[in-house]
Chain A
Amino acid sequence: MQHATPVSAHSRGLLLWYAVLVGPVAWSGHLLFSYLLVSTACDTGQVRMRIIIAALTIVVEALVLSGAAIGSRSWRPPGNRLADDDGDLNRASFMGRLAVFEGVLFFVAALFTAAPVYFLRVCA
């Protein structure tokens, strides 16, 4: 961190904000959009609906994974200190780990959201 310029430290901070927030936000958007889409299910049609949700899910999962990927770059604290998260942890490393955990959680959660579309009739 010492030899990093203030600008890169700043943009790294922004990247970590992104990594921490993108997973849950993408998941929320996925749920909301899927819900709105299904409200118009009978106009859209079963097959098209499934294709749209599949495409949407791929985009959302990519976003979720991008957060986890960025987070994983900060997993190890600089200088390899305090790697065990007991009592204290480097701040960037903490946010990175948070982002990785979120990535896993929201990746699974988004799969759960999408799955029923392929097992239930979307239009009664």
Chain B
Amino acid sequence: MTATPRRIATFAMVLIPGFATSACGRGILATRTPEAKHIALLWWLMFSLGSAAFIVIGGLLFYALFRRRTNPSAFEQRPASQTLFITIGGALIPLLILIVVFGFTVGVMAAARTGSGGMPVQVIGHDFWWEVRYPGSGVTAHNEIHVPVGREVDFELRSEDVIHSFWVSQLNGKTDLVPGLVNRMSITVTSAGTFRGTCAEFCGIGHACMTFVVVAEPQDQFDAWLAAQPSQPSDDPQEFKNGDCAGPSDAAAERAPEPSEVASVR
């Protein structure tokens, strides 16, 4: 039976490097905005507390299982000590941990802003592509969102058909695009880069393909990009129905849903 903790230790040895790589690659821990950074801090707080709790409780359980049973335990002799053990370990200490976690949670929520002072960008979800509008300039783009670095961007999120969810894991948590509602979410990207975004709410046959990129660039490059866009979309939205699932890979293109197949589910 000693294999149980040994196995868990092996897991930890294999997987902690996994954490490290994810932290420096992409994902919710490789943050590029203060908003995402707060959440990552919340994660590390909860991860540390959780790991400590797992070690302590797991240790207690391990001891309880394998202790030498030469003489009767204190629990058997005095049932009151048993109740004390359970209420302190099972209720009081968790309560103290919860106060910390809940306080931190509310703090991060208070810091999350849905402001209106930044640059407005409208994102409209479609089956299965993203329409991006820059209200000031009349520019419309598809599946590619350019934002200036260091400036607050206020997203206004709507859907034309089913529910989608806007997720760029390095920049912020998800916000759903709900038909009939307008949702808002604000971020300030702190360094230039290209970030992967995806639809996170299951939206039908092309859900896996409904990806996009966010390109954060210095203000002058952003202005140049914006000026270079035609004010009317030159592309027929039909061709975006497929999303960008295949990417450059030909093999993937064969397997991606055919436009006719996508159309047939409508």
Q: Which residues of A contact B (CB under 8 A)?
A: 84-86, 105, 108, 112, 115-116, 119-121, 124
In the complex, what distance in Å separates the CA atom of A124 from the CA atom of B95? 30
5 more A-B contacts (CB under 8 A) besides A86-B79, A112-B102?
A85-B83, A105-B91, A115-B106, A116-B106, A116-B109
**Closest chain A CB from B116 CB (angstroms):** 10
**Closest chain B CB from A21 CB (angstroms):** 21
Which of A84, A108, A115 is close to B80, meaning CB atoms less than 8 Å apart? A84
Contact A84 B95 (CB under 8 A): no
- With contact pairs A84-B79, A84-B80, A85-B79 given, residues A124 and B109 touching in the complex (Cβ less than 8 Å): no
Contact B114 A119 (CB under 8 A): no
Contact A120 B79 (CB under 8 A): no
**Chain B residues positioned under 8 Å from A85 (CB to CB):** 79, 83
In the complex, what distance in Å separates the CA atom of A115 from the CA atom of B103? 9
**Chain B residues positioned under 8 Å from A124 (CB to CB):** 114
Complex interface bits, B62-104 against A, C-beta within 8 A gives 1, otherwise 0: 0000000000000000011001000000010001001000100
The number of residues on chain B lying at the interface, defined by a beta carbon within 8 Å of a beta carbon of chain A, is 12
**Chain B residues positioned under 8 Å from A115 (CB to CB):** 102, 106
**Chain A residues positioned under 8 Å from B3 (CB to CB):** none
In the complex, what distance in Å separates the CA atom of A12 from the CA atom of B107? 46
Contact A119 B95 (CB under 8 A): no
B105-128 contacts to A, CB under 8 A, are 106-107, 109-110, 114
In the complex, what distance in Å separates the CA atom of A87 from the CA atom of B72? 18
Contact B80 A120 (CB under 8 A): no
Contact A120 B102 (CB under 8 A): no
**Chain B residues positioned under 8 Å from A84 (CB to CB):** 79-80
Contact B114 A120 (CB under 8 A): no
**Chain A residues positioned under 8 Å from B110 (CB to CB):** 119-121
Closest to A118 in B: B106
**Closest chain A CB from B85 CB (angstroms):** 14
In the complex, what distance in Å separates the CA atom of A112 from the CA atom of B95? 11
Closest to B112 in A: A120
**Closest chain B CB from A99 CB (angstroms):** 16
In the complex, what distance in Å separates the CA atom of A47 from the CA atom of B264? 53
Which of B91, B95, B98, B109 is close to A120, meaning CB atoms less than 8 Å apart? B109
Which of A86, A105, A120 is close to B106, meaning CB atoms less than 8 Å apart? A120
**Closest chain B CB from A90 CB (angstroms):** 16
